[in-house]
Amino acid sequence: MVKWAGGLIVFYGAAHTLGGLAAEGAARHAGTWFGGEMWGEELANMSPAMSAYWLTVNSFGPPLILIGLTVLWLNRRGITPPQFLAWSMAAWVLVGTVIAGPGVGQDVILLAACGLLLAAHRRAKHTDPLAPEDAPTVAENAQRLACVKPAPTAGDSLGSCPGIAPARSGPHPPRERSRRAGWDPSGRS
């Protein structure tokens, strides 16, 4: 789902940008863009070159490509993208629809991507192996952190904080420090 959502977002951003450059002929204004002729130009008196610039290079297309690529990058690492991406894009589509009316297909593409991201987030929330149902609550973790003991000396045990169950090691127990290449954690190398 996330892969499809990221692909749709990249597709829409690239289609808008490249479509404006090729199909709308905005690329013919590149000489004006890079020649510095638009510097100081007022938006109220928008020239065709400035209009083409806002339609392509400075449009929402390039940022959407970056958002889509970030979603794909997160997916390749097994990370579910945050919900705010989907909700922000959905709000953006809604505002655009209210202002300019429904789009021919662009709104459907982005809303489909939003739906896929939200569904993936919901699925991940229910199947996250790192968040078991019996995981300690925030309050339990705070209580455990508040019970700080001094470092043990030889022969001492840490004991336990009263009323707090010992922390579970889980699937990923804490890593121990190593003395690689002469590294000494006490600073006495």
Q: What is the pLDDT of residues 28-68, one digit of tens each?
A: 888 888 988 888 888 788 888 888 888 888 888 999 999 99
For residues 61 and 14, the answer to whether their CB atoms sit within 8 Å is yes
- Looking at residue 140, what is its pLDDT? 62
- Structural domain boundaries in the chain: 2-127
- Looking at residue 125, what is its pLDDT? 72
